[in-house]
Amino acid sequence: MADQRVAVVTGASRGIGRTIATTLAKAGQAVVVGYAGNETAAKEVVDQITAAGGRAVAAQADVADERDVAALFDAADEAFGGVDVVVNSAGRLALSPIAELDLDALDDMHRTNIRGSFVIAREAARRVRSGGAIVMLSTSVVGLQFPGYGAYAASKGAVEAMTLILARELRGRDVTVNAVAPGPTATELFFDGKDEQTIERLAKQPPLERLGTPADIAEVAAFLAGTGGRWVNGQVVRANGGII
């Protein structure tokens, strides 16, 4: 299937990344399911895609390790003949007031969220074919300034900056570069460490009065990664139900 678009999705073994991988597969793209450590979950995603008639392989990579990331893209070349779409959904979250933040947690989070995003963006810039798309994952907290999210928002602010600059650096390549910035989304990562009162309060913030779902975010990413999103470039799309 020489004309089939090929997507590399990181953080694809769970949560938003998993739904992005399956959504892209439903749209007809072959998918490399990138995962950090949970091989079983990644293989489940591959099985789900192939059972529905799609094409997918799993590939392990630490997104902050340039050798791992090169091997991840090599896996796409070997399995499907190249890369057209890259969605970087791998991320780490640590919540704490800035005054109480453990700096080891800060370093771990920034290694994945900043260095990892940069390594993925660098390899994508080198390898994505003409007509392709690069989609990074940010967070609406960059604009919403929720207390406790200082370090996380700072890391994602860096992602937004590199996204907008990369879009301009790829002038003439016919490759779009955008970011999706989810609001509160019902994933395992979101629910971890939050009590029911906090969850209910966050769910009531959007005018739509609910949490986002992984599918809500995946559909935006799929639009940016597909032919319909070709005229959207160098943008951060805040997919948060209208939180102001």
Q: Which domains does the chain have, with CATH numbers?
A: 6-230 (3.40.50.720)
The reported pTM is 0.95
Residue 26 has what pLDDT? Answer: 97
152, 160, 167, 226: the catalytic one is 152
Residue 244 has what pLDDT? Answer: 73
Q: Which residues contact 37 (CB under 8 A, 6 or more apart)?
A: 60
Residue 192 has what pLDDT? Answer: 79
Burial of 13 (0-12, 13-18, 19+ CB in 10 A): buried
d(C-alpha 100, C-alpha 223), whole Å: 39
**152 catalytic residue (yes or no):** yes
| Chain centre distance of CA 131 | 19
Q: Is the dihedral of CA 118, 122, 124, 130 positive or negative?
A: positive
In order along its 244 residues, the chain shows pLDDT tens digits of: 558 999 999 999 999 999 999 999 999 999 999 999 999 999 999 999 999 999 999 999 999 999 999 999 999 999 999 999 999 999 999 989 999 999 999 999 999 999 999 999 999 999 999 999 999 999 999 998 889 999 999 999 999 999 999 999 999 999 999 999 999 998 887 887 788 998 998 899 999 999 999 999 999 999 999 999 999 999 999 999 999 7
